[in-house]
Structure 1
Amino acid sequence: MRRTAVLLGGVAVIGSGAVVGFINLPGRTAAPATSPNGAQPSSVPIIRSDMVDTKQVSGTLGYAGRRIQPNRASGVVTATRAEGTVVRRGGWLYKVEGKPVFLMYGAVPMYRRLGIGATGPDVQQLELNLVKLGYKPGTVDKTFTAVTAQAVWAWQRDKGLVATGRAEVNQVIFSRGALRIAENTKQAGDAAEGSVVTTTRTERAITIKLETSNQRFARKGARVRVQLPDGKKVAGTISSVGTVARPGKDADSPATIDVSVKVGGELGRLDQAPVTVELRTGRREDVLSVPVEALIAREGGQYGVRVVRGGTRQVVPVETGLFTGSRVEISGAGLSEGVRVEVPQL
């Protein structure tokens, strides 16, 4: 990214209008320039370092994997868990007609009744859960046997369910891991039709509605910095970048894609909190840089810096590279780390 300069009465104004110096022909020794307040300019050394440019975008701190859970139980909701509660294997998510709906771990959804003679990966994951919960369904495999039925019967009896030895679709919700109650969409006394709870996973995550024009700055695995509502900054990593653009709310709103960021550190219990995410937009390694104010506009739209050596000052032409807010990458003949350049005292 390059910035242009305009000349106002011999003064160079760059970008935001900051005065950066007086123009001199390249190579000509010049008397010290003065700042608008009459003070003599100072000098700073050229620095060699890596430079990173960033772009700030808005995000929302919450929890990963937000999902409206399907409900297969019919009747009246009689109990829900407090929002924010973490439910693990064997725990209940809500109750309908006094009967709990339990969480078990697995990748296959509970889509059918499981009884003697049933076969498949859903049978295997049910048996594995029964073992983890302290029951004995026999060999953990893909076949539901009489031994499996005895273990299911014992589990149902212990949990206050009607003990039949068959696992019903209204008794279990499978998830890949623990779930956090994000929102109770129904309350005690409501009909249980539709969903009763919305859940998330337990790990923290940030969601960004990123304008499609900035999509090139979001790359899976890229590191970012996140500023929390209290001003604290934490490190994060982009975990996913959406591929489907969603239209804006109206004709004037840009289309966006969903970007997820994993974050660590102490984040408290904030949910759906606004945060600022710094995306890396450019990086230059092992380059020379000076404060933006050190740039001097030259004829032909070029730039220079006034090099200070002993009691002399000389304008040296430079090529500019990456701008990172307060600093700019430069290169030019005779420039090296530690060489001092003049900056005005604004």
Structure 2
Amino acid sequence: MSRARSRTLLVVGGTAVIALGAGIFAGTRITSPADAIARTAAPEASEVTVPVELRTLNSEVVTRGDVTAAGAVDVTPEVGGLETPPIVTGQVPEVGAEITEGAALLEIVGRPLIALAGELPMYRSLRPGMSGPDVEQLELTLERLGLDPGRVDDEYTASTGNAVAELFERIGYEPPEPDPQAQGELDAANDAVDQAEDAVEDAEEALDSAGSTSPGPGEAPLDEDALEDALDDAREQLAEAEATRDEAAAAAGTPLPASEVVYVPSLPRRVDEVHVRRGNQVDGAVMSVSGASLVVTANVDEADYELLAVDQAVSIELPTGELVPGTITGIAEAEGEGATGWDVTITPGELTPEQAEALRGQNVRVTVPIESTEGDVLAVPLAALTAGPGGETRVEVMRDGVAELVEVEVGLTAQGYAEVTAVDGTLAEGDLVVVGDGGENTGDGSDE
């Protein structure tokens, strides 16, 4: 064979091999319509299961509330009866100061403005001989402060005045001066008593002399009966003078000027705002005070309202994340334009000063426990529950790849789970229950 012929055969053979390889490769890249459909079709659905768990379930209402001080009020002294301009002369408190009962919260024209707890305002000055519900309120207050007003009733007596005097002395001020007219009547009554006592003394001496001496020559004997009558008259006049003096003394007892006391519903309280400073003239409210205790006010809808009750315990979350206990102390339908739902008043438990300051003016998270399983129970996601033909509740349990329907009794439902107890069949922790299939997006559970 010639060299040229051999070269030709090699070229033809090489070309055939290359063509064969290309054909085989192309065959692997060609897809029939049936194969294409099979490759793009969705996979067969498979059940999505989750294990039965042992867990404690807690049903609760969670809301938010605004923290405010209880019972904010304006303090407005009654200064209309003062003879001089009502100038603030001292004792001006700082914002945040605590006001206690029986203490001076301001000084006006050198006199204290004393804070007392009571519902009735100080609408008039009080003095011995007066009566009324405001007198009774005063005497109850004095007794609460450890002062003795005598019998607690609606009569302002000398004992009431003595207790008022002690109230002022306790905080370092002179007691209010008696009414000038009453003091003048008392002075006159004291003079009358002195004169009556002198008259009794003279009558007694005259009677004693009549019994111990004999009449001189030419003198008529003394009429002892007349002298005894004179002594009796003198003693009666003394008794009358003493009675008048006692009445005058009662009327001249320590009064309580309206300008020196202010009543607020409860004490102690916190100073929120001060509207005056030393040297200012009082014209209206001098400060705003609020209860030293804090309250949380939350608004809930009808569904949550049905679950709540007064005296229920709650948990309040401080801005720091710390939890403090509280109690529902009031529930009322929300009022005001555009108001809806129900307003729930919550009183925190005992707070440290730091906790109180952290809470004041905040909007906080409040959790109200409603019901608990009080321990671990068998629980499944709510999505695992299905209804049977007779209305019974079931779960579908996968056992070795085979589905089994188990009838259950449902207990507490909370936090997306339900407490379950097997009625027909068995159910245990770790059993896999169906919550959906692979074609559904259940949002919970895992594909086993």
Q: TM-score, normalised by structure 2?
A: 0.55
Deviation at 1:142, TM superposition (A): 2.3
Distance 1:42 1:214 in 2: 30
Are the aligned partners of 1:296 and 1:304 in contact in 2 as well (CA < 8 Å)? yes
Q: Aligned pairs, how many? A: 306
Q: For the residues of structure 1 that align with 2:426 and 2:265, how far apart are their CA atoms?
A: 56
Distance 2:304 2:44 in 1: 37
Q: How much has 1:261 moved relative to structure 2?
A: 0.8
| Contact 2:116/2:264, CA 8 A, preserved across alignment | yes
Question: CA 1:107–1:298 in 2, change beyond 3 Å: closer, same or farther?
Answer: closer
**Deviation (angstroms), 1:58:** 1.3
Counterparts of 2:395 and 2:137, CA distance in 1: 70
1:43 aligns with 2:51: yes
What secondary structure, in the 3-state scheme, does the structure 2 residue paired with 1:333 have? strand
Asked if residue 141 in structure 1 is aligned to residue 153 in structure 2, the reply is yes
The answer as to 2:371 corresponding to 1:276 is: no
Give the alignment of 1:1-346 within 5 angstroms: 22=47, 43-46=51-54, 51-73=57-79, 75-78=86-89, 79-130=91-142, 137-153=149-165, 155-156=167-168, 158-159=172-173, 162-164=176-178, 165-175=254-264, 177-188=266-277, 191-211=281-301, 214-243=304-333, 245-248=335-338, 254-266=339-351, 267-270=355-358, 271-280=360-369, 289-292=378-381, 295=384, 305-307=395-397, 314-316=404-406, 323-330=413-420, 332-334=422-424, 338-342=428-432, 344-345=445-446
Who is 1:17 aligned against? none
CA drift of 1:91 comes to 0.7
Residue by residue over 1:274-326, the C-alpha shift from the partner in whole angstroms, topping out at 9 and shown as x without a partner, is: 21112356667899552428727789999854446689763435576654224
Amino acid of the residue matched to residue 187 of structure 1?
A: V
The whole-number CA distance in structure 2 between the counterparts of 1:172 and 1:87 is 13
Q: Which amino acid aligns with 2:415?
A: G
Do the aligned partners of 1:77 and 1:95 also contact (CA within 8 Å) in 2?
Answer: yes
Shifted more, 327-336 versus 262-271: the winner is 327-336
Q: Give the partner amino acid of 2:419.
A: E
Any stretches of 5+ residues in structure 2 without a counterpart? 1-41, 81-85, 179-253, 434-444
2:378, 2:429 within 8 Å by CA — same for their partners in 1? Answer: no
Over alpha carbons, which structure has the higher Rg?
2
Letter in 1 for 2:102: G
Q: What is the CA–CA distance in structure 2 between the aligned matches of 1:131 and 1:101, rounded to whole Å?
A: 19
How many Å apart are 1:133 and its aligned residue?
5.2
Call closer, same or farther: CA 1:337–1:246 in 2, change over 3 Å. Answer: farther
Give the residue type in structure 1 aligned to 2:65: G
- On the 8 A contact 2:118/2:265 being kept in 1, the answer is yes
In the other structure, the counterpart of 1:18 is none
CA distance in 1, matches of 2:78, 2:43: 77
**Inter-partner Cα distance in structure 2 for 1:241 and 1:192:** 39
Rate the CA distance shift 1:197–1:179 in 2: closer, same or farther, 3 A: farther
Q: Work out the CA distance in 2 between the residues paired with 1:10 and 1:287.
A: 37
Q: In the superposition, relative to structure 1, how do residues 149 and 229 fare at CA in structure 2: closer, same or farther (>3 Å)?
A: same
Amino acid at match of 2:287: V
For the 8 Å contact 1:62–1:205, the answer to whether it is kept is: yes
Alignment check: 8 A CA contact 1:99 1:161 kept = no
CA gap of 1:102–1:211, structure 2 versus 1, over 3 A, is: farther
Distance 2:446 2:399 in 1: 19
Q: Is the 2:409–2:422 Cα contact (8 Å) retained in structure 1?
A: yes
Q: 2-side partners of 1:10 and 1:297: how far apart?
A: 22
What amino acid does structure 2 have at the position aligned with 1:67? V
Change (3 A) 1:318 1:279: same
Distance (whole Å) between structure 2 residues aligned to residue 85 and residue 114 of structure 1: 29
CA distance in 2, matches of 1:219, 1:242: 11
Higher strand residue share: 1
1:247 alignment partner, SS class:
coil
Residues 93 and 274 in structure 2, CA contact (< 8 A), matched pair in contact too:
no
Match of 1:38 in 2: none
Is the 8 Å Cα contact of residues 94 and 274 (structure 2) preserved in structure 1?
no
Structure whose residues are more often helix by fraction: 2
8 Å Cα contact 2:106-2:112 kept in structure 1:
yes
Partner Cα distance (1:149, 1:279) in 2: 51
Coordinate RMSD, CA, aligned: 4.1
